[in-house]
Chain A
């Protein structure tokens, strides 16, 4: 149940850590896993702090800054939802991955689990970036 003002964790390496939902795409009241939303980056990883040791971790420069408005795909929701096969799934937090306007992910890596609903919603690019999906 992602709606206006919901804070989500950003789990890709685009540079954003916490984003706030400002709009659900597609005339929906709440967003679920695989839905597209518009977010404002509330917190981004600091750009200048990356020392010689962890340049790979931040991926050089951040692709987004604080205050940026971006599109994103929801990958986990805390609210439980039922799948077609009857299984009811709940995740630990609300999380998303940033995408460009054409639908390509901004980050190059995704940490953590994502919901398997992304396959049905034609978001296989994010699914392939993710290390695991449940």
Chain B
């Protein structure tokens, strides 16, 4: 009994789990669950399905060339049981998995590096391409705005009531339904 890897998704197939299909030429296909078995029966290509390991490796989302990956290879050399050998192997396995985890983290970071800049550039490009959709602001309007804002600041202390009204109106414009109701209440 051994833990096999699923033919379709490369997940481990533990004993008593999944199904084994034997083709007439004697090739065995191990599946970890019925999902993989069904997809195999539908003749789907695991390289084209995003949830399989085969896809992730073929698209470059995971490490493919690394010395830590070679330890998992199957060796057909029988080894006589030896207590020391087992203990050293166990230690080595732990160490290898540690190294592998570290390298995977580095790989992920490298893969994600520069994502922010890329996104920013894409956003900039989008805005530049669709600039004609932005609200047009005339130079005269801009000037008017600036002149209105300046006296408000100066008169703020003198006439607080006016300012309140103004802010209210702005709110009413923003909220369509609620704004009308507020006005009714005031009246």
Residues of A within 8 A of B (CB): 76, 80, 85-93, 112-113, 131-132, 134
Q: Judging by beta carbons under 8 Å apart, are A89 and B22 in contact?
A: yes
Please indicate the chain B residues that have their CB under 8 angstroms from the CB of A91 in the complex. Answer: 21-22, 24
Q: Identify 15 residue pairs between A and B in the complex whose beta-carbon atoms are under 8 Å apart, listed by A's number.
A: A86-B16, A86-B17, A87-B15, A87-B20, A89-B21, A90-B21, A90-B22, A91-B24, A92-B22, A112-B26, A113-B24, A113-B26, A132-B26, A134-B22, A134-B26
| Given A112-B26, A113-B26, CB of A88 within 8 Å of CB of B19 | yes
Please indicate the chain B residues that have their CB under 8 angstroms from the CB of A85 in the complex. Answer: 1, 15-16
Q: Judging by beta carbons under 8 Å apart, are B15 and A88 in contact?
A: no
The CA-CA distance from A131 to B24 in the complex, in Å, is 12
Minimum Cβ distance to chain A for residue B105 (Å): 36
Minimum Cβ distance to chain B for residue A114 (Å): 10
Q: Which DSSP category, helix, strand, loop or mixed, fits chain B's interface? A: loop
The CA-CA distance from A85 to B4 in the complex, in Å, is 14
Minimum Cβ distance to chain B for residue A50 (Å): 24
Cβ contacts B1-19/A at 8 Å (1 or 0 each): 1000000000000011111
Interface residues of B in 56-110 (CB under 8 A from A): none
The CA-CA distance from A88 to B22 in the complex, in Å, is 11
Please indicate the chain B residues that have their CB under 8 angstroms from the CB of A93 in the complex. Answer: 24
Q: For the A-B complex with A80-B19, A91-B24, A112-B26 known, give 10 more contacts whose Cβ atoms are closer than 8 Å.
A: A85-B1, A86-B17, A87-B15, A88-B18, A88-B19, A88-B20, A91-B22, A112-B25, A113-B24, A132-B26
The CA-CA distance from A134 to B20 in the complex, in Å, is 10
Please indicate the chain B residues that have their CB under 8 angstroms from the CB of A88 in the complex. Answer: 18-20
Q: Which residue of B15, B20, B26 contacts A89 across the interface (Cβ within 8 Å)?
A: B20
Q: Judging by beta carbons under 8 Å apart, are B24 and A92 in contact?
A: yes
| Given A85-B1, A85-B15, CB of A90 within 8 Å of CB of B20 | yes
Please indicate the chain B residues that have their CB under 8 angstroms from the CB of A90 in the complex. Answer: 19-22
